[in-house]
Amino acid sequence: MDKLIATGGGPLRGEIRISGAKNAALPVMICSLLTSETMTISNIPHLHDITTIMELLGQLGVKLQVDDKLTIEANATEVNNVVAPYHLVKTMRASILVLGPLLARFGKAEVSLPGGCAIGSRPVNLHIKGLQALGAKITVDRGYIRARANRLRGARIFMDLISVTGTENLMMAAVLAEGTTVIENAAREPEVIDLARCLKTMGADIHGAGSDEITIHGVQRLGGAAHRVIPDRIEAGTFLVAAAISGGEIKIKDVKPQQIEAVLDKLREAGASLEVGDDWVHLRAPRGRLKAVNIRTAPYPAFPTDMQAQFVLLNSIADGTATVVETVFENRFMHIHELRRMGANIQLDGNTAVVQGVRKLQAAPVMATDLRASACLVLAGLIADGETLIDRIYHIDRGYHCIEEKLSQLGAVIRRVPRNYLERKSA
- Positions annotated as catalytic residues are 117
Select the span of 10-18, 104-112, 120-128, 385-393 touching ligand UD1 (CB under 6 A): 120-128
Q: Say how far apart CA 375 and CA 394 lie, in whole Å.
A: 11
Which amino acid, 14?
A: G
Residues 326-365 that bind ligand UD1 (CB under 6 A): 328-329
Residues 185-224 that bind ligand UD1 (CB under 6 A): 191
CA 68 to chain centre: 23
Give yes or no for a contact between 40 and 31, defined as CB atoms under 8 angstroms apart: no
In the complex with ligand UD1, the residue whose CB is nearer, 245 or 371, is 371
Q: Say how far apart CA 255 and CA 19 lie, in whole Å.
A: 9
Residues 252-311 that bind ligand UD1 (CB under 6 A): 305-306
Residue 123 CB, nearest distance to ligand UD1 (Å)? 4
Provide the angle, in degrees to the nearest 10, between the axes of the packed helices 164-174 and 22-30. Answer: 20
In the complex with ligand UD1, the residue whose CB is nearer, 65 or 125, is 125
Q: Say how far apart CA 395 and CA 118 lie, in whole Å.
A: 11
Select the span of 29-37, 115-123, 361-369, 389-397 touching ligand UD1 (CB under 6 A): 115-123
- Residue 340's nearest CA partner among 361, 371, 319 is 361
Provide the angle, in degrees to the nearest 10, between the axes of the packed helices 99-106 and 125-133. Answer: 20
Is residue 84 a contact residue for ligand UD1 (CB under 6 A)? Answer: no
Q: Say how far apart CA 362 and CA 381 lie, in whole Å.
A: 8
User: How many residues form the binding site for ligand UD1 (CB under 6 A)?
Assistant: 21
In sequence order, which residues have a C-beta less than 8 Å from that of residue 4 and are 6 or more positions away? 378, 381, 389, 390, 393, 396, 404, 414, 415, 416, 417
In sequence order, which residues have a C-beta less than 8 Å from that of residue 232 and are 6 or more positions away? 18, 19, 20, 21, 22, 23, 24, 45, 401
DSSP 242: H
Residue of 3, 127, 188, 233 interacting with ligand UD1 (CB under 6 A): 127
Residue of 166, 224, 248, 257 interacting with ligand UD1 (CB under 6 A): 166
Strand pairing class (156-158; 180-184)? parallel
Residue of 19, 32, 165, 181 interacting with ligand UD1 (CB under 6 A): 165
DSSP 424: H
Residue of 126, 131, 147, 230 interacting with ligand UD1 (CB under 6 A): 126
Looking at the DSSP bridge assignments, the partners of residue 65 are 73
Residue 420 CB, nearest distance to ligand UD1 (Å)? 32
In the complex with ligand UD1, the residue whose CB is nearer, 43 or 246, is 43
Residue 82 CB, nearest distance to ligand UD1 (Å)? 20
Residues 17-46 that bind ligand UD1 (CB under 6 A): 23, 26
Q: Say how far apart CA 281 and CA 233 lie, in whole Å.
A: 12
Residue 124 CB, nearest distance to ligand UD1 (Å)? 5
Each residue 383-422 as x (binds ligand UD1 by CB under 6 A) or -, in order, gives ----------------------------------------
Select the span of 37-45, 123-131, 148-156, 224-232 touching ligand UD1 (CB under 6 A): 123-131
Residue of 41, 109, 147, 164 interacting with ligand UD1 (CB under 6 A): 164
Q: Say how far apart CA 249 and CA 380 lie, in whole Å.
A: 17
Residue of 72, 94, 134, 172 interacting with ligand UD1 (CB under 6 A): 94
Select the span of 101-109, 125-133, 150-158, 385-393 touching ligand UD1 (CB under 6 A): 125-133
Residue of 122, 151, 153, 217 interacting with ligand UD1 (CB under 6 A): 122
Is residue 93 a contact residue for ligand UD1 (CB under 6 A)? Answer: yes
Alpha-helical segments (H) within 183-307:
190-201, 233-245, 261-269
Q: Say how far apart CA 193 and CA 190 lie, in whole Å.
A: 5
Alpha-helical segments (H) within 355-413:
371-383, 394-399, 403-409
Residues within the interface to ligand UD1 (CB under 6 A): 23, 26, 93-94, 120, 122-127, 161, 163-166, 191, 305-306, 328-329
